[in-house]
Amino acid sequence: MDMKLDQDLLSIQEVRDKLRNASAAQKTLAEFSQENIDRIVKNICDAAVSEAERLARMAVEETGFGNVKDKITKNLFAARQVYEAIKDVKTVGVIAEDVDRKVWEIAEPVGVVAGILPSTNPTSTVIFKALIAVKARNAIVFSPHPSALNCCLEAVRVVQEAAVAAGAPNDIIQCLEHPTLAATQELMTHKLTDMLLATGGPGMVKAAYSSGKPAYGVGPGNVPVFVHKSADVAQAARQIVQSKSFDYGTICASEQAVVVEEGVKRLFLQELKKNGAQLLTAQEKERVAKVILNNRSLNVEIVGKPPQTLGKLSGITISENTRILVGEEVEVGKNIPFSIEKLSPILALYTVKDRREGSDLCLKLLEAGGLGHTVGIHAQDDEVIREFALKKPAGRIVVNSGTTFGGIGATTGILPSMTLGCGTYGNNITTDNIGPRHLLNIKRVAFGVREMANEDERKAISSGTPEETVEASANLNLEINEAEITKIILKVISQLNK
């Protein structure tokens, strides 16, 4: 007689089976040399590049988010640019040696990583997390969002087969085929799971941090961008439109509000229009505002949709060449639709008198839902940039670049990554762009370089004359560090002044 298993029970058993296999595979991978690991990582990169377009099409068709052209770019970024950034990173054996302090650093993998996947960037996140996990000699088990299951399964198949072809164990990269909330919970809390890489909504990230496991999570990216009067206004407008329209706004680092100084506002608006922005009338803005929120939460129907679809949902006419919608706003708050993270090509526009008002307003926008993530500034005055950056609770302050690309490290010098930490500002453990070093246990081998003085010797050193202090230290064969030398010099000066 056929028995239909309960879906939750089936999914939980699948998690346990995959974790058991992953743990065994990881123990084998942990013994691989750096050369073998690097060969596997290169093969994963090459396979992801060759399948970037097909995986992009699958992601758009299944989720309805974004567009194929930009999804291809995302996949290629996650493969090529991430690979180029990590390919020379040492992750096996002694990875650093401080000759002067006589300290060695030795890398050990963390073990089995649970990779939580979002629906907005599914295939690119698979590629990225697989690369950094294997580079650090870890196994990874993915839990896909149910609405992106098929494209995630295919992306995992591509990278897994590439890894095995280069010599990796069969079960080093796996994906749940029956994703449920129960399965994800089991994956995050199971004893064989060593670390979590969580990308998803606030609820999922909070669950990851509550799992009892070490976790790298993310936070919402309600990104404000300040356009100072010293900015190259034409460049700023072009970069902001390009960044905000990319994949229809599905990257969390994309601009959500632009704050412009009134002295350059007219020119800035002209440049926005040149680059494909449609400036909404007051009536049009109100109609769009009504579709942004759904019961005080972001309306999923607008996420990753083109401006023309947003126009249909709002009942307004949007031209075919429009790339983003811009609405002027004056209020800030979680109940103000234009001032929240919209994950779509909808941009709020605020006008300020000067840089102090602009800086304060950007801070308010971050506090409304984007603490710790990303903020941008367009300016040519280094003093303005420095002052702005020092006061912002954000892990990434992107200067003169679109924040979508600058935040992930595509157009800036920070580590290319698809997982962006928000630090304690956003209830995360780090503000870093996550990479393979975050998935390592680093041991320190520390040689003795000095003797520890006993109580009498310490008193003699601290209470004697400067000459006696130096002599006592020499007699004890103690290494005097810079702080100790400074202390002695100050003591000598003090006595001379007397």
φ and ψ at residue 495, rounded to 5 degrees: -70, -35
Beta bridge partners of 443: 106
459, 481 contact by CB (below 8 A): no
Q: What is residue 424's three-state secondary structure?
A: helix
Q: How far apart are CA 254 and CA 76, in angstroms?
A: 18
Dihedral of the alpha carbons of 16, 17, 19, 20, in degrees to the nearest 10: 110
φ and ψ at residue 473, rounded to 5 degrees: -65, -40
Which amino acid, 267? Answer: L
45, 252, 362, 422: the catalytic one is 252
Those residues with Cβ within 8 angstroms of residue 341's Cβ, 6 or more apart along the chain or in another chain: 220, 221, 222, 223, 252, 256, 298, 369, 370
175 is catalytic: no
Those residues with Cβ within 8 angstroms of residue 244's Cβ, 6 or more apart along the chain or in another chain: 254, 255, 323, 324, 345, 347, 402, 404
Q: How far apart are CA 466 and CA 462, in angstroms?
A: 9
Which amino acid, 293? Answer: L
Q: How far apart are CA 106 and CA 108, in angstroms?
A: 7
Instruction: Compute the Cα dihedral for 133, 134, 140, 143 and give only its sign.
Output: positive
- Name the residue among 110, 142, 145 with its Cα closest to residue 128: 142
323, 241 contact by CB (below 8 A): yes
Quote the tokens at residue 43: 């093969």
Q: What is residue 396's three-state secondary structure?
A: strand
Active site residues: 252
